[in-house]
Amino acid sequence: MGRAEIKRFRRGAEEVAVFLKPRLDGKTRIKVISHTDADGIAAAAILARCLYAYNVPFSVKLARPPSEEDIAQLAAEGQDLYIFLDQGSGQLDAINKHLLARQKEVIVIDHHPGQFLEHPKFSCLNPHLCGLSGSTDVSASGATFSVVEQLDLRFRSLISLALVGAIGDRQELSSGFTGVNDTLLKRAVDLGLVRESEGLKLVRRSLVPAVECLRTSTRPYILGLSGNLASCRSLLDTLGLSHSSLISDLGLELERKLADAIFSKAGAQAVKEEFRRTLWGTILTAATDDLVGPKELGEYSAIIDACGNMKRPEIGFALAVGDGSYQMDALGLLSNYQEVVLRAMGWLVEKLASFKIAAGFRYLYAGDAVDAAILGEILSLAIESALIPMEQPVVGMADAADGYVKVSARATSRLVAEGVNLGRAISKAAAAVGGYGGGHDVSAAARIPRNRVEDFVVELEKAISSGSYEL
């Protein structure tokens, strides 16, 4: 990946902008469909701010990737232009059948691998078409910003939302951002829109007292502190720090002392690089008021992501488009979500010895002990907290509705570099047992019949251990 690929991506963004611009005449009815996670919400907010500025009639739907039935229902709504964000690449057959075939116009701005097509009423932007990685080089919000910026430079202040989405999709690697994300960050800093600093990267560091921030920490989950109020109080007392102080107000020297104390408390966990880089590193802060609410981009990402995970994505969206009246609601959802995740992480820590070893991966079937909707997040947090050995991919399964099981799989950038592609492997194994799935090379998900769990494990063993990722 280099400058040539980034230039191709920019040209792709220009082409989508050229396709979109004539439709901003106030006569074209537009439907925006985006994902419910931080990246999808941020992408929808970026586009919504643009459409609102052009006084275009539009509506927004935030939902999981649509089924063919969902897309058929969209066609019946009678809109003129459908814009899919953070999804669509895996649904192009249905889009072609139910939308394009009915003379509807479609734009897909996505970063997931999938199918691609050419059609006079279709335009798309996807990093995979440009030689870039959709897992690390750019997210859907970054891609959406790249298009919107081509329409008018007045939208460049929305670059902070593009970075919020990238952070939400865990595209900030140990070495920082790569690809398009890296160029966006450098531009944001040069333009004075974002500031960089160093410190503890704990969620809610600027929102709640230090003792509460430590107690509810799940990124990372700190053994001996997370979920243990007395231990958190004791740690702060040892350092002479007020329980009610905000970590963001401590200053770099005291933050370093607190970090050292946390590392000491975590013991063997703190030796692992994953844990150390999750706890301490670069903090990005919005330098303007374009981001309504907390200014730290990591916290902002956590807030709107929590809204989605608590099944209230519209709250996160309202905040992201600039409606400050929803800030307290969003913060309340983040607080509730932190407690949900904290309990789930506590359960996972107790079950670490229950992971089974398969050929090429390790897995855990949680049954109904963990909400299937947050299973993938729990796995990601466990990896970032150095709780799970990652010489192999890790797979979690939990009961979902209607007799299905939700499958979530996670790898690392090192495993991907060695040839692992979970999106293809999970898709292939799920299809073999009557389910469906897919995703990125480093993370993937599926739904499979509950009575085919053992068969799925066998099929996934075949796909991963053999390195056979062709669909």
pLDDT digits (tens, 9 = 90+) for 44-71: 999 999 999 999 999 999 998 898 999 9
- Read off the pLDDT of each residue in 237-256 and give the average, rounded to a whole number: 97
User: Quick one: which H or E segment has residue 36?
Assistant: none
Full-prediction pTM beyond 0.85? yes
Q: Is 238 exposed, middle or buried (0-12, 13-18, 19+ CB in 10 A)?
A: exposed
| Rounded CA separation 79/353 (Å) | 52
CA distances 462 to 218, 376, 442, Å, are: 33, 22, 18
Nearest to 85 by CA among 118, 38, 52: 38
DSSP string across 286-337: E-STTS-S--BHHHHHHHHHHHHHTT-HHHHHHHHTT-GGGHHHHHHHHHHH
| Rounded CA separation 387/2 (Å) | 34
What is residue 471's predicted lDDT score, i.e. its pLDDT? 39
- Tell whether the model's pLDDT for residue 382 goes beyond 80: yes
351-466 is classed in which CATH architecture?
A: Roll (3.10)
* pLDDT band at residue 469 using 50, 70 and 90 as cut-offs: very low
DSSP string across 211-228: HHHHHT-BTTB-TTTTT-
User: Quick one: which H or E segment has residue 374?
Assistant: none
Q: Quickly count helices (H) and strands (E) in the chain.
A: 18, 13
Rounded to 5 degrees, φ, ψ at 381 are -65, -40
What is the CATH code of the structural domain delimited by 3-171? 3.90.1640.30
Query: pLDDT tens digit string along 175-195?
Result: 789 999 999 999 999 999 999
Query: pLDDT tens digit string along 287-315?
Result: 998 899 999 999 999 999 999 999 999 99
Query: Domain spans of the chain?
Result: 3-171, 198-344, 351-466
